[in-house]
């Protein structure tokens, strides 16, 4: 009897996430975590430099700022570059489909329903394609590519190390979070994003692997990429008017986030197939190029326009137009089959919404800096669309290099926005591919086990 039960106990121990170095299989698991961080950091640095090179080639201008370059570019460049992106989108999707076997799989879907297993070649090909397209000006985020690269590296290391399914799920989530952390220089936010948003579990046994992978990846990327905040903002000071506004604006951001998430889900489920994969991207991105002539802020992931909103340099009429058009541009790009991330576009949409609501509030109760409304709105929208309030708050603090100056209104807006969004729609922007049954299964698995009577 002892001969049969002991191996089973050892197998179960090896399958768990090792909390100490003395547990069975701990050295192999922690080595995989470190190597995942190194690989994710290298991948993020390479992909970021590739994006910068493509952007400089397609939109030459001083300082590497896409918005400035697009404003100075002629109408013909807007049309031709985006039409080229449309052709590349269609051709790239067809090539990826023919060169690799099986269908593509989303990282969230892989973690929850495939034990973290991803088709490596197709996923890396999609990552490179998305970098090229974002560099050309499509309205999607650049974080999708380093996330995919980090996840693939973790998956390969899981195979080589013969890790259990539970260890693989965590390592793939950590790899994706580490890729994001390295790309933006946000080690703590990337670790929390991996656990709260991708893995869906915030537990002590999972924290150390996520932190270590993101820390190593960020340190590696800092050898190539600049160690500086993504957004430069002043040290805003909280006040009673902004606190009251945050309580009112949070639920509004939650409702808007639900509409945004559902639009993303619709776009993802209705991507073109067959010969339409060649035609739809050309039409959609050609339209984006035409509209970007009067509104160049629609190009790219939204980083530049968010920066302007964070310092109050976007006029109210333009805020109104961009708050409508920027999310529509992102949805249209996804609908046409363009691969890319959703993190920065969601943050930018929240900044525009917050700035717009802040202008209206200032008519009733002046005195709050316009940029502070945008910062709070960005955090609220990010939290509600990702359904990750803790990671959203930390990410905004790391991205701006600020902490206490806006923490109270940010927490209030984030909490109310996330509560409203969760009450209406269980999906996040990263659950767009999941069916209703899969969402229900995921929600059930998140619930704590019932206490026996």
Mean pLDDT, 10 residues at a time, the chain of 453 residues: 39 65 84 97 96 94 83 95 96 81 69 86 92 96 93 95 92 96 96 93 88 97 91 92 96 97 93 90 96 96 95 95 97 94 96 96 92 97 96 95 87 97 92 73 60 47
b/e per residue 283-322 (b: at least 16 CB within 10 A): ebbbbbbebbbebbbbbbbbbbbbbbbbbbebeeebbebb
Within this chain, do residues 248 and 359 fall inside the same structural domain, yes or no? yes
Within this chain, do residues 32 and 85 fall inside the same structural domain, yes or no? yes
Q: Which two tokens stand for residue 20?
A: 């100490």
In a domain, 345, yes or no: yes
In a domain, 353, yes or no: yes
CA 422 to chain centre: 18
DSSP string over 305-354: HHHHHHTT-S-HHHHHHHHHHHHHHHHHHHHTT---B-HHHHHHHHHHHH
In a domain, 87, yes or no: yes
Within this chain, do residues 208 and 259 fall inside the same structural domain, yes or no? no
Report the distance separating Cα 446 and Cα 294, nearest Å: 46
Domain boundary among 221, 255, 279: 221
Within this chain, do residues 260 and 197 fall inside the same structural domain, yes or no? no
In a domain, 409, yes or no: yes
Domain count, the chain: 2
Within this chain, do residues 272 and 148 fall inside the same structural domain, yes or no? no
Report the distance separating Cα 123 and Cα 131, nearest Å: 13
Beta carbons within 10 angstroms of residue 30's beta carbon: 15
Within this chain, do residues 401 and 431 fall inside the same structural domain, yes or no? yes
Beta carbons within 10 angstroms of residue 13's beta carbon: 13
In a domain, 14, yes or no: no
Within this chain, do residues 185 and 89 fall inside the same structural domain, yes or no? yes
Report the distance separating Cα 217 and Cα 134, nearest Å: 22
CA 30 to chain centre: 26
> How open is the CA angle 8-9-11, to the nearest 5 degrees?
65
Alpha helices in 73-106, H assignment, sequence order: 75-99
Q: Which of these, 131, 154, 143, 144, lies nearest to 185 by C-alpha position? A: 143
Give the pLDDT confidence score for residue 36 in this predicted structure. Answer: 97
Contacts of the segment 318-327: beta carbons below 8 A, 24+ positions apart: 319/352, 319/355, 319/356, 319/359, 320/356, 321/295, 322/295, 322/297, 322/298, 322/352, 323/349, 323/352, 323/353, 323/356, 325/291, 325/295, 325/298, 326/139, 326/297, 326/298, 326/302, 326/352, 327/260, 327/263
Token pair 């920066």: residue? 307
Give the pLDDT confidence score for residue 412 in this predicted structure. Answer: 97
Within this chain, do residues 53 and 121 fall inside the same structural domain, yes or no? yes
Within this chain, do residues 36 and 120 fall inside the same structural domain, yes or no? yes
Domain boundary among 152, 186, 221: 221
Token pair 């790219």: residue? 300
Within this chain, do residues 215 and 262 fall inside the same structural domain, yes or no? no
- Range of 161's domain? 25-221
In a domain, 453, yes or no: no
In a domain, 6, yes or no: no
Q: Which two tokens stand for residue 275?
A: 């010969």
In a domain, 203, yes or no: yes
Residue pair 278/91 in contact (Cβ under 8 Å)? The answer is yes
**Conformational region of residue 166, where left means phi above 0, alpha means psi within -120 to 50, and beta covers everything else:** alpha
Residue pair 206/195 in contact (Cβ under 8 Å)? The answer is yes
Within this chain, do residues 204 and 312 fall inside the same structural domain, yes or no? no
Within this chain, do residues 440 and 395 fall inside the same structural domain, yes or no? yes
**Conformational region of residue 116, where left means phi above 0, alpha means psi within -120 to 50, and beta covers everything else:** left
Give the pLDDT confidence score for residue 99 in this predicted structure. Answer: 64
């Amino acid at each position: 009897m002892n001969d049969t039960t002991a191996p089973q106990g050892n197998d179960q121990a090896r399958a768990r996430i090792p909390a100490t170095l003395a547990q069975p299989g701990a050295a192999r698991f922690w080595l995989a975590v470190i190597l995942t961080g190194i690989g994710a950091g290298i991948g993020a640095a390479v992909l970021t430099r590739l994006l910068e090179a493509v952007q400089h080639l397609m939109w030459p201008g001083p300082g590497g700022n896409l918005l400035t370059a697009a404003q100075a570019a002629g109408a013909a460049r807007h049309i031709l570059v985006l039409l080229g992106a449309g052709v590349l989108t269609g051709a790239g999707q067809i090539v990826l489909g023919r060169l690799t076997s099986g269908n593509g799989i989303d990282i969230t879907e892989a973690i929850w329903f495939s034990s973290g297993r991803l088709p490596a070649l197709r996923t890396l090909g999609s990552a490179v394609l998305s970098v090229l397209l974002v560099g050309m000006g499509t309205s999607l985020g650049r974080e999708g590519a380093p996330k995919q690269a980090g996840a693939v590296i973790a998956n390969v290391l899981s195979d080589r190390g013969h890790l259990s399914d539970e260890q693989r799920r965590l390592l793939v989530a950590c790899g994706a979070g580490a890729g994001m952390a390295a790309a933006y220089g946000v080690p703590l936010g990337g670790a929390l994003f991996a656990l709260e948003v991708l893995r869906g579990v915030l537990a002590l046994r999972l924290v150390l692997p996520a932190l270590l992978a993101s820390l190593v990846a960020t340190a590696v990327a800092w050898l190539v990429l600049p160690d500086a905040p993504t957004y430069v903002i002043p040290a805003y000071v909280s006040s009673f008017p902004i606190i009251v506004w945050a309580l009112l604006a949070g639920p509004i951001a939650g409702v808007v986030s639900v509409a945004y998430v559902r639009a993303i889900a619709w776009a993802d489920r209705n991507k073109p197939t067959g010969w339409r994969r060649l035609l739809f991207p050309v039409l959609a991105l050609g339209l984006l190029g035409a509209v970007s002539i009067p509104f160049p802020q629609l190009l790219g992931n939204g980083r530049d326009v968010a920066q302007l909103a964070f310092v109050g340099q976007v006029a109210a009429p333009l805020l109104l137009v961009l708050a409508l058009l920027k999310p529509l541009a992102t949805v249209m790009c996804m609908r046409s089959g363009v691969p890319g991330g959703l993190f920065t576009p969601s943050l930018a949409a929240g900044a525009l919404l917050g700035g717009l609501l802040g202008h209206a509030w200032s008519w009733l109760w002046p005195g709050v800096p316009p940029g502070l409304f945008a910062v709070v709105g960005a955090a609220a929208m990010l939290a509600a669309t990702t359904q990750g309030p803790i990671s959203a708050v930390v990410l905004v603090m790391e991205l701006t290099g600020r902490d206490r100056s806006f923490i109270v209104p940010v927490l209030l807006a984030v909490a109310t926005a996330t509560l409203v969004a969760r009450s209406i729609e269980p999906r996040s922007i990263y659950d767009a591919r999941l069916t209703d049954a899969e969402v229900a299964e995921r929600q059930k698995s998140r619930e704590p086990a019932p206490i026996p009577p």
